[in-house]
Amino acid sequence: MALVGTVLFCTSCGSLLNRIPPEKPTITCDVCKSCNKNKWLTSVTTRSRPDAFPSVLLQKRSGAVNQTMKSEDAETWPSTTQSCPSCENPTMLFKDVQLRGADEGSTIFYRCPKCNYRFNTNN
Q: Which residues are annotated as a binding site for Zn(2+)?
A: 10, 13, 32, 35, 84, 87, 112, 115
Tally the C-alpha atoms within 13 A of residue 83's C-alpha that lie toward its C-beta.
6
Question: Rounded to whole angstroms, what are the CA distances from 58 to 33, 48, 67, 70?
Answer: 50, 15, 15, 24
Phi–psi pair at 121, nearest 5 degrees:
-135, 150
Distance CA 113, CA 86 (A): 12
* Residue positions forming the annotated binding site: 10, 13, 32, 35, 84, 87, 112, 115
